[in-house]
Amino acid sequence: MGEVLHTERGTLTAEPPRRGVGIRIVGLSKAFGEVQVLRDLSLEVRPGETFVIIGASGCGKTVLLKQLLGLLRPDAGQILIDGAPVANPGQPKRYRIGMVFQSAALFSSLTVGENVGLWLKEHRVADDGAIERIVTEKLNLVGLADKKHLMPSELSGGMRKRVAIARALATDPDLMLYDEPTAELDPVMTDHIAEEIVDLKRRFRITSVVVTHDLNMGCYVADRMGMLHEGRLVEVGTPEQIRRSTNPVVRAFITTQTKGMGGA
């Protein structure tokens, strides 16, 4: 076990005993003008679970994640994380969320290491030497410790995604949210990222919510998954149950995704 840091939030260690937090969503609705994106959506994610939400582009996956982060307020319904309503950004909360944005969203003028260490620096979690060690450790987790001094523009798309994962992990999260973690990546990089997600879950037992339109990747990383369609989760189950679903909406999605791949 690595070094121990004492922060205002408690103890931060090189391999901290994270605790996955549960999520409970009841009757969630969200519209933008005429467009009703989510309607009466309910979902329970168990502590330590990896829950994957699949659905077509534009069905509301990112809107759902933004509400978990507190960046968008629901029109109706409730989201409880770790038993408490989602706090506004900046408000104190008992849990920490790490978010991996679809675009990776790295600062282009900062090195890889500076991107990963930014949150730690801003929150003065530790002195510079200790932050350096945490940054190296998180980059090690995603296999990129040797890229610490490069600029984001010098990395491939898949590597930038892995840096974004390392940056999210640097906050020592209890909940990881991944928005389309493998979009625009080639199959080899997609496999790398999927392995990363599974590996992090095994090691740290944090709760993860992954939204994607990639059915194969979703099935690979999920404990359970749900299909978002017309504002609701129309089917929830294990990857096996989803693949065998007789729900026409799910069947249509699966058939489209596996066309030309010899079925799945």
Ligand X SMILES: Nc1ncnc2c1ncn2[C@@H]1O[C@H](COP(=O)(O)OP(=O)(O)O)[C@@H](O)[C@H]1O
Contact residues toward ligand X (CB under 6 A) are 32, 35, 37, 55, 57-63
Q: Which is nearer to Mg ion, 36 or 62 (CB)?
A: 62
Cα 96 vs. chain centroid, distance in angstroms?
A: 12
Residue ranges of alpha helices (H) inside the chain are 61-69, 112-122, 128-141, 157-169, 187-204, 215-221, 239-243, 248-258
Q: Which is nearer to ligand X, 57 or 91 (CB)?
A: 57
- Which two three-digit tokens encode residue 113? 């290491």
Q: Which is nearer to ligand X, 67 or 111 (CB)?
A: 67
Give the nearest distance from C-beta 109 to ligand X in angstroms: 27
Q: Which is nearer to ligand X, 5 or 38 (CB)?
A: 38
**Using DSSP, how many helices (H) and how many strands (E) does the chain show?**
8, 12
Q: Are 182 and 139 in contact (CB under 8 A)?
A: no
Distance CA 13, CA 218 (A): 30
Q: Which does 35 bind (CB under 5 to 8 A by kind): Mg ion, ligand X, none?
A: ligand X
String of contacts with Mg ion for each residue 35-74, x by CB under 5 A: --------------------------xx------------
Give the nearest distance from C-beta 48 to Mg ion in angstroms: 25
Q: Are 226 and 193 in contact (CB under 8 A)?
A: no
Give the nearest distance from C-beta 179 to ligand X in angstroms: 7
Give the nearest distance from C-beta 53 to ligand X in angstroms: 9
Q: Which is nearer to ligand X, 137 or 179 (CB)?
A: 179
Distance CA 170, CA 10 (A): 15
Give the nearest distance from C-beta 61 to ligand X in angstroms: 3
3-state DSSP assignment of residue 243: helix
Q: Which does 68 bind (CB under 5 to 8 A by kind): Mg ion, ligand X, none?
A: none
Distance CA 98, CA 181 (A): 13
- Considering only the C-alpha atoms of the chain, give the largest distance between any 2 of them, rounded to a whole number of Å: 56
Distance CA 112, CA 120 (A): 14
Give the nearest distance from C-beta 221 to ligand X in angstroms: 18
Q: Which does 107 bind (CB under 5 to 8 A by kind): ligand X, Mg ion, none?
A: none
Q: Which is nearer to Mg ion, 117 or 231 (CB)?
A: 231
Give the nearest distance from C-beta 58 to ligand X in angstroms: 5
Q: Which does 71 bind (CB under 5 to 8 A by kind): Mg ion, ligand X, none?
A: none
Q: E strands along 14-162, which residues? A: 23-32, 35-45, 50-54, 76-81, 84-85, 97-100
Q: Which is nearer to ligand X, 3 or 40 (CB)?
A: 40
Within residues 145-174, the interface with Mg ion by CB under 5 A covers none
Q: Which does 147 bind (CB under 5 to 8 A by kind): Mg ion, ligand X, none?
A: none
